[in-house]
Amino acid sequence: MAELIKASAQSRSTAGAGVMREEGYAEMQAIGASAVNQAVKAIA
């Protein structure tokens, strides 16, 4: 099972995307509008 990735407003979306590419899936946690925006960019 992959670790929980915590997204923040300053997170690089490419880092989350890289984890998803390597693992095939990822569990992300984002609190706040800017953090959710970065998490969605990683998924897209």
Domains and CATH numbers, the chain: 4-43 (3.30.110.20)
Instruction: Give the number of other CB atoms < 10 A from CB of residue 8.
Output: 13
Task: Let me know the angle formed at the C-alpha of 3 by 18 and 41, rounded to the nearest 5 degrees.
Answer: 40
pTM: 0.75
Going by pLDDT thresholds of 50, 70 and 90, the confidence category of residue 5 is confident
Judge whether residue 6 has pLDDT over 60: yes
pLDDT at 13: 83
